[in-house]
A and B are shown apart, each in its own frame.
Chain A
Amino acid sequence: DGGITQSPKYLFRKEGQNVTLSCEQNLNHDAMYWYRQDPGQGLRLIYYSQIVNDFQKGDIAEGYSVSREKKESFPLTVTSAQKNPTAFYLCASSMGQGAYYEQYFGPGTRLTVT
């Protein structure tokens, strides 16, 4: 899991509440990513950021928001507009956005919304 921390490990929320997942990295990486993992579906990209104060939508951005105010931090907010928020959320970072860079992943946050 390297130098990427995600907190908390488990998170429980009631439907209709917004919730923010934390992601911090000490690898001095420029690029950061948020993925959602559901059983049998692999990972799907929610948002990514190549540099501070810049981010782009991924494949499933609806109902999510992010910010990138600091290089080491990329928090994800799951809003009440996300229809099916229960999932395992993974944050990743890479040295750059170039195709040859591998991504390093955090330990994940399992969100359960009831």
Chain B
Amino acid sequence: AQSVAQPEDQVNVAEGNPLTVKCTYSVSGNPYLFWYVQYPNRGLQFLLKYITGDNLVKGSYGFEAEFNKSQTSFHLKKPSALVSDSALYFCAVRDVEYGNKLVFGAGTILRVKS
């Protein structure tokens, strides 16, 4: 079965500094990877996805993610963090063996301090 792991429950970063939220995956076949963000008591918002092609994927709100096949990672990055980026971030992978459902990681809380 496909799975993703987010090894950090929480990431703390100062405003203006670069941020990284980590995600590793385990799949059989080609990976279809996604990042979502959730603000308190809200639904999830799609940030970006990797399907094929360039290893650096650019998404919404200045976020980008780097796909690394050898390390089976798909880390979310932003060059300069904003306080408003503070939220819960989810990495997800499509399970192509089970109706293409999304399998989510447990989530990482990002706190950006001014």
Contact = CB atoms under 8 A, between A and B. Distances in A.
Nearest to A108: B43
Interface string A47-75: 01010000010100000000000000000
B46 A104 contact: yes
B49 A100 contact: yes
The range of chain B's interface size is: 20 to 34
Contacts, number: 61
Interface residues of A, number: 29
B41 A108 contact: yes
Interface stretch (A13-21, A35-43, A78-86): A35-43
A105 to B, nearest CB: 4
Contacts of B43: 1, 4, 6, 90, 92, 105-108
A42 B108 CA distance: 10
B111 interface: no
Contacts of B104: 42-44
Contact of A105 (B44, B49, B105, B106): B44
B101 interface: yes
Contact of A40 (B42, B94, B106): B106
Interface of A: 1, 4, 6, 33, 40-45, 48, 50, 56, 58, 88, 90, 92, 97-100, 102-108, 110
